[in-house]
Amino acid sequence: MPNSEVPGRVLHSHGLGVAAGRCRIASCRHGRRRSGGPVRWQADSQDDQAERDAGSRVLLATDQAALLDEVLRVAAAGGVEVEVASHVAALRPRWGAVPLVLIGTDLVAAVAAAGLVRRPGVVVVGRQADGSSADPSLASPTLAASQAPAALPTLFGVPGVWEGAVAVGAEEVLALPADDGVLADRLADLRDGPSRDGAVVCVVGGRGGAGASTLAAALARTAARRRRTLLVDADPLGGGVDVLLGAEDAAGLRWPDLAETQGRLAGEVLGNGLPRVGDLTVLSYDRVGATAVPPAAMVAALAAAARGFDLTVVDLPRTADEASLQALSRARLVVLVVPTQVRAAAAAERLCQVLPLPSAATGLVVRRTLGGKDYDPQAFADALQLPVWAVVGRQRNVPVAAEDRRPPRMSARSSLTQAAEILLRRLDAEQPA
């Protein structure tokens, strides 16, 4: 293999090179490739092996510099470390030690012939020299390994690729650079760790000032005591859940910092970059402007939240903007907060005609108002044709706490806490098997 410099980070590469940031293919700390000859390696020390097990996430088996360049380019963009084996002998001891193995089309036949034990997380990767499929009937070169199109071997110009992919139990066959996005997603899954498959609960007020933000905050704070929770403020014209929680001045990213997000959002951006109130993570607006959340940013944020949090509570505006619709489409539960007022019931009825609330997963939290009549909550259920999930009593301390820029006190016996617990039990009952 000729000397070449490629971007990315390679750890303990077997036969190709070892460096951080940029690596030179011809040399490495374990050995040096001699022109025209095989690679000679010294045995790894225990420290070397421990470092590799701790840091290496992906194993790439290839002896092609061009394919290595392609994979390292994608890996570098995602901040994922790659370990490289240039022959089957180097691959064998590491076969079961990493969560994802990428096998180059140049070595797939040799790996198949080696008779390694089948394992999950194997993907065959090849390079499209001309950037297009050899068969125009292929809509995409991303193909599940259980489907065998006759055109696949010509896609890479290497015979036997398909047979080798099936023999090694590959989950996918990817052609780079056309499948950069698919590979990037696989690598990002490793970087972010196992997904928590977190649930989304949307909270919306039947009218302005219904107390939806207060309930959303109470639900999130209660949940955060025993599960990783994110509270999302999706209402650009609201007062801000960060203000409600006394976290207006807390350091961290806000929606404007994520507004240009396209595609996948790294999990650590939400996990480490957002403001926190105790155990609760908060995504809110800043105090400048009132621009609605771009739909792509909402999709990216909720996808990242599902991977990194057990629960995401979204405080929705009373509008059918695209970002709100994206949140609603992902909601496991939708909570409609309605004060015990006739006009509030009328406003909530109009809202139900505008927002596509999933009837099977939507319920009411009826909030008794200070100085209001003591209406029967069931009357609101009948009017809106939605079940009453909880009733919140009159809250005197919430407005005072908000003015003092501190979270409202929530005792275990308060109606807010009890309503939150009821909703969490319902959510747990709705968890998919």
Picking from 266, 271, 275, 334, the residue whose alpha carbon sits closest to that of residue 303 is 266
Contact 283, 276 (CB under 8 A): no
Burial class of residue 252, CB neighbours in 10 A (0-12, 13-18, 19+): middle
Same fold, 5-190 and 199-429: yes
Residue 108: the pLDDT is 94
| Sign of the torsion formed by the C-alpha atoms of 349, 355, 356 and 360 | negative
> Do residues 283 and 251 make contact, with C-beta atoms less than 8 angstroms apart?
no
Would you state the pLDDT for residue 156?
Answer: 67
- Whether residue 240 contacts residue 317, with contact meaning beta carbons closer than 8 Å, is answered with no
User: SS3 for 202?
Assistant: strand
What does CATH list as the number for 199-429? 3.40.50.300
pLDDT tens per residue, the chain (433 residues)? 433 333 344 444 444 433 233 332 222 323 333 333 333 223 334 444 444 443 447 999 999 999 999 999 999 877 788 999 999 999 999 999 999 999 999 999 999 999 999 999 999 999 875 444 433 333 334 445 555 555 544 456 667 788 889 899 999 999 999 898 899 888 888 887 777 889 999 999 999 988 999 999 999 999 999 999 999 999 998 888 999 998 888 999 999 999 888 778 877 788 889 999 999 999 999 877 668 889 999 999 999 999 899 999 999 999 989 999 999 999 999 999 999 999 999 999 999 999 999 878 999 999 998 766 778 999 999 999 999 999 998 766 555 445 555 566 677 888 999 999 999 999 999 876 5
SS3 268: helix
In the block, tokens 């140049």 appear at 106
Q: Residue 417 to residues 61, 221, 222, 223, 422: CA-CA distances in angstroms?
A: 54, 9, 7, 10, 9
Domain positions in the chain = 5-190, 199-429
Q: What pLDDT does residue 430 have?
A: 82
Q: How far apart are CA 214 and CA 37, in angstroms?
A: 70
> What pLDDT score does 192 carry?
79
Given 3-state DSSP classes, what are the helix, strand and coil percentages for the chain, each rounded to the nearest 5?
A: 35, 20, 45
In this structure, CATH architecture of domain 5-190 = 3-Layer(aba) Sandwich (3.40)
